[in-house]
Amino acid sequence: MALLLEMNAIQKSFGGVPALSGASIEIAQGEVHALIGQNGAGKSTMIKVLTGVYTRDGGTIQFNGAQSLLNSPREAQAAGIATIYQELNLVPLRSVTENVIMGYEPKRFGAFINWREAHRRTRAILDRFGIDIDVRMPLGSYSTAIQQLVAIARAVSLDAKLVIMDEPTSSLDASEVKTLFGVVRGLRDAGVSVLYVSHFLDELFEICDRVTTMRDGETVDVATLSKTTKLDLIAGMLGRDTREIAQAGRTEFGGGSAKEGEVLMTATDVATGPRLSKFDMTLHKGEVVGLGGLLGAGRTEAARALFGVDAISRGHVTLKGATAPCKPAEAIAAGLGYLTEDRKAEGIIPDMSVRENMTLALLPKMTKRGQIDRAAERKIVQHYIDALGIKTANMEQPIRELSGGNQQKVLLARWLAIEPEILILDEPTRGVDVGAKREIQLIIREYVDRGFGVVLISSEFEELVEGADRIVVLNEGRCIAELKNPGITEDKLVQALAHIEKVTA
Amino acid sequence: MSIPHAEQSTAGSIMKMVRANGGLVALVVILAFNVIFTPNFLQLQTLFVNISQVATIAIVAMGMTLVIATGGIDLSVGAVMALAGALAPLIFQSQFGIDYPALGVATAIVIPMLVALACGLFNGLMVAKLHVQPIIATLILFISGRGVAQVLTNGNLQTFNNPAFSYLGTGKILGLPFQGWLTVVIAVILFFVISRTIFGRYVLAIGGNERAAQLAGGPVLRVKVGVYVICGGLAGLAGLIVVAINSASDAARNGNLMELDAIAAAVVGGALLQGGRAPIFGAILGAVIIQLVKYTLLANGVADEVALIAKAAIILIAVYMQQARKE
């Protein structure tokens, strides 16, 4: 197999702190190669070196048979390296065609765009990927998945030899993931290499050929996926022994132990819009109720309905017997907390300090006549930094400088600090490295054991199955089943989901 | 983000310091230039003139800073100044104002201030309740406010002789202009509000990430309306001061282009247009720089038109330094 890319002994440090110290990766022609590692392992730095965003301090890059400098994104693009970012860099308000041919428009008389030819060419490009959409419509009118595929199509039409995909499936649902995988296989068959970065290990076994594992800025392992196991990969990322992990169990949850306490919250026949049409749930004291389902099943919408973010158009939500509040501020005052799914868009306030981020929901309670009690504030913040083991230089450090896992802990502390009776957690461990994940799961467990209630949303079935006392299964905005621990297995959850798939299909 | 080792030399750290304190450095440069080149610069009279002129820019700029901190902008401040300034003489020169002089002056301050606050309320509701883009929402009063002021005064210059009212612009406390003290008092209050109160914390949180602030229970509507009301009120106050300084109210000129000066001062002072930062004393520094540049050029016989170009240059440099700081 001919090598397309060879990055060797790459060095990069920021202000004296090494981010990469002798990292290397090799990708063969027409190979789908996975890159994994905990947050801070150096994956993104490696990609940024490869795409010319960062200039490396040392090491060599061979691309397509020649020594490459790759000192600017432009140079990398010209060499045939295309990157599909999580946040797409396309123009949502312009048509699909314009996005695909941007910069390479077919001209008429040297000045006017030949639209007929442009649309034809775009359709031809998209056809290769089995995407059949109206190319005249604004790109933004299509789902994220389609937009992502359009970005890939554009990259390939520009003769990309290597396509880098950074967490491509994080916002796709199951069927969209299937389409994406089809496209990735198509790329492989056409001889294009793919560098695939993902937190979802299961995906790698489905789509990738080989995997490079990074830890602390170094490459620690290269393996063929058909000859390795998930446990081995986790052990490699953590730098721990596989047996040790197997014994400890892969999550820190231990659901199913709860005795049913009094009812904290109920939702009866709740609808808020097209994405949530029939939601029923009961939450008792000392209980974790999981919301299961695929992406787009209405889990986040259910959480928003419970927290009073979205207005309820039908049905009834009660909180300790009374009608639940319909505004976030009132919900908080009534003892609810809601850890949102999208940390960046709905969670952190990037330029504010750890202290200010943590006490945001608590503000009304630590204020006397409009004035913030700063001594009390510092005391509370220090308490949670210690209790949750948040790694921060000090409480005045801007939260954007923290790693994803520590940001998530700060946000968790924001809600724990108001001492809510009910916590709604939407993907509490997504995008968080394995170590922080276990810690966050422990914190949640301790909180539940104190007699409070948790509504847990997680795309990781393992986390849900092990963590929840009961799982309410949603599909297309409707509750379709309720499973009870002990006795829930991943298989049973998948079966519950699969069952309705068959019925509706 | 981080700077490689090689650049952390003496030259590098000086550059860094200049960038971090760009406003102060600019101030020192302008002052030094004036001491050397401008005749009679080191005179008390010069200080008085500049303080009385800078106060209005600074007062409006502080309000603007709060609005900008929430990610908004207020184009209507100049028009609100004209409106407030036009109302005052109409009231104390009315029959009622002549019959009851003390009450007349009091009403001539209270009513225009209430109108200015109402203008702010209108802006705030447009932005926060109806979700109109701030630049469009405040464009409405930007256009109509001055129009109303001119209609009220039939487009005439209103001159007057009313020492009690003129105290706003010509009074002195401990030898320094009244409005200078007023500016300092407002700045101290606003600084306290921003750094110590829940309202201030919410202002910065909303500017930093509005959705996150709302989901954490922040009263987005009230806080946003609040900053526009404060901004409107401060603009009204500035309008009254200008009228008091001149002993005349000219609805066509009062506060003309003030929105630009105020935005410029806020930006020079370190406010970020995307929100999340509210440097109150920075706004005053920005106002002082803009005033001093105007004064310097005027005192050295440079035409007003050229002064505009100089102002543009300052904004350009300020924005450039902000960008550099973000890297």
Residue A261's pLDDT band (cuts 50, 70, 90): confident
Q: Among residues A461, A472, A481, which one has the least CA distance to residue A288? A: A472
pLDDT confidence of residue A245? 52
Please confirm whether the linkage preceding A486 is cis (ω < 30° from 0): yes
On average, the pLDDT of chain B sits at 88
* Domain residue ranges in chain A: 3-247, 249-335+420-505, 350-418
Looking at this predicted complex, what is its ipTM? 0.84
Question: What DSSP string runs through A116-179?
Answer: HHHHHHHHHHHHTTT----TTSBGGGS-HHHHHHHHHHHHHHTT-SEEEEESTTTT--HHHHHH
Q: Which tens digit of pLDDT belongs to each residue from B197-235?
A: 999 999 999 999 999 999 999 999 999 999 999 999 999
Q: Which tens digit of pLDDT belongs to each residue from A267-297?
A: 999 998 877 889 999 999 889 999 987 666 7
For testing contact with chain B, the best of A352, A353, A396, A399 (most B CBs within 10 A): A352
Contact residues on chain A for B326, CB-CB shorter than 8 A: none
Report which of residues B113 and A234 the model is more confident about: B113
Note whether B204 contacts A: Cβ–Cβ < 8 A. Answer: yes
Q: Which CATH class is domain A249-335+420-505?
A: alpha beta
Contact A363 B5 (CB under 8 A): no
CA B239 from centre of chain: 11
Contact residues on chain A for B199, CB-CB shorter than 8 A: 370
Q: Among residues A191, A230, A188, which one has the least CA distance to residue A209? A: A188
Question: What DSSP string runs through B20-49?
Answer: HTHHHHHHHHHHHHHHHHSTT-SSHHHHHH
For testing contact with chain B, the best of A304, A340, A360, A367 (most B CBs within 10 A): A360
Question: B232, B119 in Cβ contact below 8 A?
Answer: yes
pLDDT at residue B311 is higher than 90? no
CATH superfamily of A3-247: P-loop containing nucleotide triphosphate hydrolases (3.40.50.300)
Of A349, A371, A414, the CB nearest to B196: A371
Q: Which tens digit of pLDDT belongs to each residue from A201-249?
A: 778 899 999 999 998 889 999 999 999 887 788 778 777 666 655 554 4
Q: What angle do CA A267, A271, A273 make, to 5 degrees?
A: 150
CA B157 from centre of chain: 24
Q: Which CATH class is domain B22-326?
A: mainly alpha
* Domain residue ranges in chain B: 22-326
Question: What span, in angstroms and rounded, lies between the C-alpha atoms of A327 and A309?
Answer: 6
Question: A33, A230 in Cβ contact below 8 A?
Answer: no
Please list the residues that pair with A338 across neighbouring strands.
A424
For testing contact with chain A, the best of B198, B199, B221, B322 (most A CBs within 10 A): B198
Question: What span, in angstroms and rounded, lies between the C-alpha atoms of B29 and A479?
Answer: 69
Residue A502's pLDDT band (cuts 50, 70, 90): very low
Question: What span, in angstroms and rounded, lies between the C-alpha atoms of B129 and B136?
Answer: 14
Reduced to 3 states (helix: H, G, I; strand: E, B; else coil), residue A296 is coil
Q: Among residues A204, A92, A185, A195, which one has the least CA distance to residue A144? A: A92
Question: What span, in angstroms and rounded, lies between the C-alpha atoms of A56 and B10?
Answer: 25
Q: Which of residues 258-287 of A touch B (CB under 8 A)?
A: none
Rg (CA), chain A: 24
Q: Which of residues 344-373 of A touch B (CB under 8 A)?
A: 345-352, 356, 360-361, 363-364, 367, 370-372
**What's the whole-model pTM score?**
0.75
Question: What span, in angstroms and rounded, lies between the C-alpha atoms of A458 and A428?
Answer: 7
Rounded mean pLDDT, B89-95: 90
